Structure 1
Amino acid sequence: MTHVPHELHEEFPEAGEALHKLKMENPHFAKLADAYHEVNREIHRIEADVEAASDARTEDLKKRRLALKDEIAGIIQAEG
């Protein structure tokens, strides 16, 4: 398996404990993290030429990933 950039623990390296705690204790955060993971994996498959997608689809996915990351960051910040 190849390295997948943009995993949450890479995006928020200082928040490892908070990520784990929130995933376990906050159902909304867990859903956001799962959605982020799915979108991130799909982007990786497209960029690795495993899955075909139009430029517009790829851009939409990247915007979705960024929106999820922003919401996740806000929750992490509020937690700490």
Structure 2
Amino acid sequence: MSHTPHELVEEFPDAAERIHALKETDGHFARLADDYHEVNRQIHRIETNVEPASDAFQTQLRKHRMALKDEIHTILTAPA
């Protein structure tokens, strides 16, 4: 288990500028990015024992983060 936060810019380093631009201009993308950030932070707090949680809840959060990441990836790789 990794205790490293999975920030969007780290997950998609070649898309850092596009991520920033979409957060400013696309409300749907901005909500996805905000949701991803919140879920990602919650997972990080759990992994570092700041906020303990059950294995089932951790798994649920990780699946949710992956679904958000997949949707974000789809947007980032779509033709501009």
Aligned residues: 78
4+ residue runs over 3 A deviation: none
Q: Distance in 2 between matches of 1:27 and 1:79?
A: 18
Gaps of 5+ in 2: none
Q: Please report how far the alpha carbon of residue 5 of structure 1 lies from its aligned counterpart in structure 2 after TM superposition.
A: 2.1
Q: Please report how far the alpha carbon of residue 52 of structure 1 lies from its aligned counterpart in structure 2 after TM superposition.
A: 1.2
Q: Distance in 1 between matches of 2:7 and 2:75?
A: 17
TM-score (norm: length of structure 1): 0.93
Alignment correspondent of 1:44: 44
Q: Distance in 2 between matches of 1:5 and 1:50?
A: 14
Gaps of 5+ in 1: none
Alignment correspondent of 2:15: 15
Q: CA RMSD in A?
A: 1.3
Q: Distance in 2 between matches of 1:49 and 1:76?
A: 32
- Identical-residue share of aligned pairs (%): 62
Superposed CA offset, 1:55-78 (max 9, x none): 000000000000000000000011
